Amino acid sequence: MGLIETVLTEPPKNEPEEEEGGEPLSYWLGVDGGGTNCRAVIVDENDRVCGEGRAEAANFIRVGLEAAIGHVRIAVDEACHQAGIEVTKITAACIGLAGVSHPEHHARMLSALKNALPVPHITLETDARVALAGATRNQPGVVIIAGTGSIACGINTRGRFARAGGWGPAMGDEGSGSYIGRRALEAVVMAWDYRGEPTSMMEPVLRHFGVTTPPELPPVIYDSPGEVPAMISQLSRIVVKAAADGDSVARQILKDAAEELARAAIAVIEQLRMAQETIIVSYVGGVFEAGDLILDPMRDLIREAAPKAVVAAPIDPPVIGAAMMAKAMTLES
């Protein structure tokens, strides 16, 4: 049974198992935290998932350092409770978070995590890196992440790592939920102005923001900067429904998003010189709930650039990738 199946089908046990002779098993903690939620798992020496925990967003750039650390701790405490162990029993942790790629952000968050979690060995990675570890089980390949934000990253047979995207909503995040939502807003106001095609997204987008006409949108959008990014990202669900119902404007938005995500993956493939190799290109994030509306055009473009690429769902979720990185860290040391 694969680890992703283990997470989804095996109920956590509240009593920790013991080896023969009564010695307790070792435990490893994996955390995956982004702009929407945070998830934690604890695995044992047999790669069995002993406990899982969930909490709110853990991207400290979006929610602040104190809130991000608090949400990580909530998820970890819940996972420990399900596993029937204290957090001090964890051998090592790998924590993958959005918003820590800059060295200063990384150092600040790592220091805060070490103060918050009494775990002897803590590694802090980006959410993209743990997603890659889970999606390919650390085999050569690429993962495309498209949730609130977007990024692609990969690793080749020589162990070289590369990334493309991940620049945040002001400078990038093309193909993400934020991108799709922003495009939906643009489509609505352009239709209102007679600059664009009519779209069935008009009414649900306005209702989402609690207004009745587009001229009422600016105060909502510009006067609530803290809440708006998440609200805009949530519009992606409206776009997907409209596209599924045949709205041509919504379909074009999703096609453009797919092209942007493919462009990021291809950039990584080219950086790693893998265009002629058989590789896994996987995908993670809420945007891919759109299914073939996103996957089909994205897959076609990737295969044009890398004919041997296999575009497939991830082998394991990012949080399992983080746990396996934690385990590998201690076994290699």
Q: What is the mean pLDDT of residues 64-91?
A: 92
Judge whether residue 301 has pLDDT over 90. yes
Tokens describing residue 45: 């020496």
The per-residue pLDDT for 332 is: 64
My answer on whether 245 and 320 are in the same domain is no
My answer on whether 320 and 290 are in the same domain is no
Number of domains in the chain: 2
Judge whether residue 168 has pLDDT over 90. no
My answer on whether 43 and 69 are in the same domain is yes
Most confident of 4-13, 96-105, 262-271, 281-290: 262-271
Q: How many CB atoms lie within 10 A of CB 325?
A: 24
The per-residue pLDDT for 228 is: 73
Domain of 200? 142-312
Q: What pTM was computed for the model?
A: 0.79
155/282 Cα distance (integer angstroms): 12
My answer on whether 119 and 218 are in the same domain is no
73/201 Cα distance (integer angstroms): 39
Judge whether residue 139 has pLDDT over 90. no
**Helix ranges restricted to H, 2-64:** 3-9, 60-63
Judge whether residue 22 has pLDDT over 70. no
My answer on whether 132 and 146 are in the same domain is no
My answer on whether 101 and 209 are in the same domain is no
Phi, psi of 176 (to 5 degrees): -80, 180
My answer on whether 266 and 235 are in the same domain is yes
Instruction: Give the dihedral sign, CA 93/94/97/101.
Output: positive
Most confident of 18-22, 90-94, 219-223: 90-94
Domain CATH number, residue 301: 3.30.420.40
Which residues face 164 on adjacent strands? 152
**Number of residues assigned to the chain:** 333
My answer on whether 92 and 125 are in the same domain is yes
- In contact, 153 and 162? CB cutoff 8 Å: yes
Higher per-residue confidence, 259 vs 169: 259
My answer on whether 297 and 156 are in the same domain is yes
My answer on whether 132 and 148 are in the same domain is no
3-state class (DSSP) for residue 189 = helix
**Helix ranges restricted to H, 193-317:** 202-208, 217-223, 228-234, 236-244, 248-271, 292-305
55/255 Cα distance (integer angstroms): 32
Q: What is the pLDDT of residues 305-329, one digit of tens each?
A: 999 999 999 999 999 999 999 998 8
Q: What is the mean pLDDT of residues 253-271?
A: 96
Residue-averaged pLDDT of the chain: 87
From first CA to last CA, the distance across the chain in angstroms is 28
Tell me whether residue 332 is exposed, middle or buried, using C-beta atoms within 10 angstroms of its C-beta: 0 to 12, 13 to 18, 19 or more: exposed
My answer on whether 188 and 154 are in the same domain is yes
Q: CA dist 273 to 16, 17, 151, 278, 279, Å? A: 45, 45, 18, 12, 11
My answer on whether 126 and 180 are in the same domain is no
Judge whether residue 131 has pLDDT over 70. yes
